Amino acid sequence: MTAPRFITFEGIDGSGKSTQARALAQRLKKAGQDVVLTREPGGSPGAEEIRQLLLTGDPDRWTAETEILLFTAARRDHLEKTIQPALDAGKIVISDRFADSTRVYQGATRGDLRGTVDQLHDLMIGREPDLTFIIDMDPATALSRGLARQSGEDRFEDMGLSFQETLRHGFLSLAHAHPNRCVLIDGNREAEAITSEIAAHL
């Protein structure tokens, strides 16, 4: 088996993805690897502009269908401008969220739109990560951590606790459906313990 080079972090809002993605990037850099740490929505100048449209404003600013189009547009730009060039240059890419977030946030929360998400993914993205860490944790704790940041990008957190509970189940089903690519990580622990487990997987 070849070493994974495109690694993603997924999970509900506030589950510790950014913290763990940063920690893994630091560890790999210390070990002499060339690493690009990036995020979605965003990760390229055009996609960062789309991010602002998606994460600010009223919770019902966009329907799930419109979100699928905007997230996929942002992802296409991210892939073209950041991810693919880095992989082609032999670097490791760590992304804080990728297509699994669309499968769960848009595909399984407001009606069953999973088929639409998958069709658009096949048409416009057509790429899966080599390895995905799904951080699983208690939605109430994660939501309070996320809202405490006061980032001003809380459109999805503002959809409430039951929305986060639905998301959690969506991520658990995804992990079970793709056991070769996805590793489920218990996020209800100290950050350092989680980082060590993730590093051990690699």
Which of ligand TYD, ligand ADP, none does residue 101 bind to, with CB < 5 to 8 Å depending on kind? ligand TYD
Peptide bond into 41 cis (omega under 30): yes
When asked if residue 138 is in the footprint of ligand ADP (CB under 6 A), the reply is: no
Q: Taking Cα atoms as reference points, which of 154, 7, 29, 159 lies closest to residue 94?
A: 7
Instruction: Give least dist CB 39 to ligand TYD, A.
Output: 6
When asked if residue 197 is in the footprint of ligand ADP (CB under 6 A), the reply is: no
When asked if residue 18 is in the footprint of ligand ADP (CB under 6 A), the reply is: yes
Among 4, 27, 46, 55, binds ligand TYD (CB under 6 A): 55
CB 184 within 8 A of CB 134: yes
Instruction: Give least dist CB 157 to ligand ADP, A.
Output: 9
Instruction: Give least dist CB 8 to ligand TYD, A.
Output: 10
118, two tokens = 């998958």
Q: Which is nearer to ligand TYD, 14 or 129 (CB)?
A: 14
Q: Is 6 helix (H, G, I), strand (E, B) or coil?
A: strand
| Binding span for ligand ADP by CB under 6 A among 23-31, 73-81, 108-116, 186-194 | 186-194
When asked if residue 10 is in the footprint of ligand TYD (CB under 6 A), the reply is: no
200, two tokens = 């051990």
Separation of alpha carbons 86 and 157, rounded Å: 31
Q: Give the CA count within 13 Å in the CB-facing half-sphere of 108.
A: 18
Q: Which is nearer to ligand TYD, 43 or 195 (CB)?
A: 43
Q: Is 112 left (phi over 0), alpha (psi -120 to 50) or beta?
A: beta
Residues interacting with ligand ADP, by CB under 6 A? 11, 13-19, 145-146, 149, 190-191, 194
